[in-house]
Amino acid sequence: MDWFGRAKIAFFHAPSPLTLQKKDGTTTDLLKMAEKSTPSCQLNPFLFNGDLQTMWTAVAKNAPPIHYRRKIFEAEDQAYRGTFAVDFVVDTHDDVDESLPPRTAYFPEDALAQIGSDDSKPMLIVLHGLSGGSHEVYLRHAIEPLVTNGGGWEALVVNARGCANSKVTSGIFFNARATWDLRQVVKWARETFPNRPLFGLGFSLGANILTNYVGEEGLDCPLKAAISVGNPFNLDISNSALKRGFLGKQVYQRVMGSNMKRFINDHKEQIKLYTTLDLAEIQRVTYLYELDRAVQTKIWGYPTEGAYYRDSSSADAVLGIKIPFLAIAALDDPIAVEEAIPYGELMINPNTVLLTTSLGGHLSWFEFGGGRWHARPICNFLRNMVSDINLDAIKPEANVNEKDNQSTTHRFPLSHFNPAARKLHTRPE
């Protein structure tokens, strides 16, 4: 047990981390930036393991009162037809819309028409966890120092389809590899705010999606840097670990399954209209993996939920990352378990650094007094990247696998491994 809530911190990285040019003309590297940004981790000593930390999230509901304005996007790619909601952090407002989460209202038409800007403020694009949304407590704790009281940042949250009281308008739901909506928003942000450096932040399932996106984009990724928090990485491994233990199956799998059943029930009429899902079958299941079997396999055509988990996992995508990337994980996380962390992939790619804490649970990291530790390394890292680093001079290095493939001193490997390849192929109907 870590003494009185004092968590151990460790960094895992490539032998030669990505070199970063500082604004003063000197150089540093990605590991030093991560170390500089990470404070000591002193958590609530009464929440002394991952289960207590994680379960406390059901009690600790206090969070900064972030206000949002919502914009509805229509999918540009007909393979992923439908709409999705994006919530922009805005100044405090008194508008109340009972159909939306607290402190959230739609943009007035005139404001929406003038949303573009040529300012150079950094902008953060955020993805939430399973069945969550922009209202999530862990998310608001993380972004509040950046966006309030002169923090100087702009931020938006890409809500998964049907989440955060958004409407389901097609048979295309979110899933663990649903990079298409994020890709559209990043492209839109690049065009709408041409001078803003863009950054990514993902939590849990959203971290898995963000990692997949960054790996798929490779050298073409428009983001300057990204942070993954509580990423399950290998979903098949995480699922197996959850099913092994009593708490994993009877608490976490059951609660996540109940949340997804609630999601289905909230959109029952639209689901009847746009899909052929068996709603009676869905009502009979209990656990998350059963929901994935009844929903994700039917919508996307996977033969089993295991095939869905393996195809959606972001572990291999780590090898395709070509921008500065920080992954934050608690080793006692009972949901995004340690055995699912792709240590080898993160330690072979010079563009990635893994930061681990021995305590923290799943997206918890509760400090004594109610603070959340994860907000500090997230905000510090992002601020330091903007204040210290010449972002235009970042030149990501090829990973070791690519360097080996370019070697002329031997004949191996015989083929090229594509870390962003996927087995599922979608097409417009």
Segment 278-299, tens digit of pLDDT: 999 999 999 999 999 999 999 9
Query: Cβ of 297: how many Cβ atoms within 10 Å?
Result: 16
Q: In what order do the strands lie in the sheet with 154-158?
A: 9-13, 352-357, 325-330, 225-229, 198-203, 123-127, 154-158, 83-90, 67-74, 104-106
* Calpha distance 219→88 (Å, rounded): 27
Beta carbons of 275 and 173 less than 8 angstroms apart: no
Is the pLDDT score of 256 beyond 70?
yes
Beta carbons of 189 and 196 less than 8 angstroms apart: yes
Structural tokens at position 353: 């650094």
Looking at residue 16, the DSSP 8-state letter turns out to be: S
Q: Which of 95-104, 383-392, 415-424 has the lowest mean pLDDT?
A: 415-424
Amino acid at 65: P
Structural tokens at position 34: 């991560």
Determine the 3-state secondary structure of 327 from DSSP.
strand
Beta carbons of 335 and 231 less than 8 angstroms apart: no
- Is 292 contained in some domain? no
- Is 69 contained in some domain? yes
Q: What kind and span of H or E run contains 356?
A: strand 352-357
Amino acid at 244: R
- Is 417 contained in some domain? no
What are the residue numbers of the active site?
Answer: 204, 333, 362
- Is 167 contained in some domain? yes
Select from 321, 291, 305 the least CA-distant residue to 235: 305
Query: Cβ of 349: how many Cβ atoms within 10 Å?
Result: 28
* Calpha distance 132→42 (Å, rounded): 27
Q: The CATH number of the domain where 324 resides is what?
A: 3.40.50.1820
* Cα 292 versus chain centre, distance: 19
Q: What is the pLDDT of residue 406?
A: 43
Q: Which domain holds residue 65?
A: 3-234+313-406
Is the pLDDT score of 191 beyond 90?
yes
- Is 273 contained in some domain? no
Long-range contacts of 411-417 (CB under 8 A, 24+ apart): 417/319
Convert the pLDDT of each residue in 48-80 to its tens digit. 999 999 999 989 989 999 999 999 999 999 889
Is the pLDDT score of 415 beyond 70?
no
Q: Cα dist. 183→75, 188, 222, 258, 428 in Å?
A: 10, 9, 10, 29, 18
Q: Is 376 exposed, middle or buried (0-12, 13-18, 19+ CB in 10 A)?
A: buried
Q: What is the pLDDT of residue 397?
A: 63
Domain count, the chain: 1
Q: What is the pLDDT of residue 407?
A: 41
Determine the 3-state secondary structure of 292 from DSSP.
helix
- Considering the entire predicted model, what is its pTM? 0.95
Mean pLDDT of 210-223: 96
